[in-house]
Amino acid sequence: MEEKIITLTEETYHRAQLIQGKLEAEGVTSFLTNVNLIQSDVASGVRVKINSKDKEKAEKVLESIRYSFGEEKEQMVDKLRTVRRIMVPVDFSEHSKNACKYALGIANVLKAEIRLVHIYYSPTLDTAHYSEAYGMHLNVEKYIRDIYKNAVYDMRKLISELKDIQEEQDYKHVSIDYRLINGAPEDAILEEAKDYNPALVVMGHKGKGETDDVVLGSVTSYVLNKMKRPVLAVPENAKYTSIKEINNIGYATNFDNSDFDAIGNLMNLIKPFHMKIHCVHVETNKQDVWDDVKMKGLKEYFAELDIPNVECRMIESKDLISGITKFIKEKDIHILSTTTRKRNFFTKLIKPSMTREILRQVDIPLLVFHS
């Protein structure tokens, strides 16, 4: 049977979100269209769209939702709450503070809560070999207490600064809490994200000025590859003024099967922001005739979704970085997005030499979805 996009049901916005969450839990990709964000509780009109191949499974899920209650309904409500959680790992550096500015703007639109997470590492010393073991133990305890006190002080200072930004920008719909965690940053961030279950993780990275061997910080690079939730990596020199001025988001595609899910997740994430999506494929081999066929299929896919704010194009370039840089400048891209699928754009972009080159020419955040 030929696959195409069909409408499963029309609902209110909030009920459509619940249905979408349940479908996702059952492995069915879905998209919401015709969303009225001004009057999200109107009687109907929000369309839940699916691939025709998933129709039978989706209809069973929809039927179960209509009769669901109690614990199952609570699980769906908890799924909806996830949309309104943003996690921001911070180390109190300028690039992590810059990431907080982006998180604040996004959270205000989503009416979300922000959880700041700081990982402080306290080394454990084996005092058995010291003759004055008791005194050594006291010194270690004092050292750990001092680290913790400093972390509390720095966190409260950061929150105070963010509160000032909230007031200046008139962000009325954001709440902020924090966690201080003792442990190795890479693992602690992943564990906290697993427990907190945010819709988005926002991280700063130094970008320019680091050593030639590591452009993305080692922690950010590790998290980008391992995190199951979308990650927005914000370079220190990305200039944030207002969320309203972030209008164009680019999606770099290599025509991988994971693109469809990633683009669907991207559309769902940015829906409240009224951004235009620009899909781009950088063609470095002019002899690859299949690229034209695949791009045509991608355009037809978006047409079936009935989403007008999507533009697809191919760019011929001698190399990937030159092509993507040209695309960013020509289309005034404010955020670049892709997926972590192997052998795709991201795999090449994360290499230090290529990342260094693109960061020399543009300073925009990178939004990464885990396939």
- Distance, in Å, from the CA atom of 219 to the CA atom of 101, rounded to the nearest integer, reads 20
Higher-pLDDT residue of 190, 259: 190
Task: Say yes or no: domain 246-369 is CATH 3.40.50.620.
Answer: yes
Confidence at 220, pLDDT banded by 50, 70, 90: confident
Across the range 194-205, mean pLDDT stands at: 91
What's this model's pTM, rounded to 2 decimal places? 0.73
Match domain 5-82 to its CATH number in 3.40.1000, 3.30.750, 3.30.70, 3.40.50.
3.30.70
- Distance, in Å, from the CA atom of 172 to the CA atom of 107, rounded to the nearest integer, reads 10
Structure letter (DSSP) for residue 314: E
Residue 320 and residue 284 in contact, taking contact as beta carbons nearer than 8 Å? yes
Q: What is the pLDDT of residue 196?
A: 92
Residue 271 and residue 49 in contact, taking contact as beta carbons nearer than 8 Å? no
Within this chain, domains 85-235 and 246-369 share the same CATH topology: yes
| Percent with pLDDT over 70 in the chain | 74
352-361 and 320-330 helices cross at what angle (nearest 10)?
30
Q: What is the pLDDT of residue 19?
A: 86
Domain definitions of the chain by residue range: 5-82, 85-235, 246-369
Residue 214 and residue 153 in contact, taking contact as beta carbons nearer than 8 Å? no
| Percent with pLDDT over 90 in the chain | 25
Q: What is the pLDDT of residue 116?
A: 97
Query: What's the fold here for domain 85-235?
Result: Rossmann fold (3.40.50)
Nearest to 327 by CA among 339, 338, 316, 343: 316
pLDDT in tens, 90-144: 999 888 999 999 999 999 988 889 999 999 875 554 444 444 555 555 576 777 7
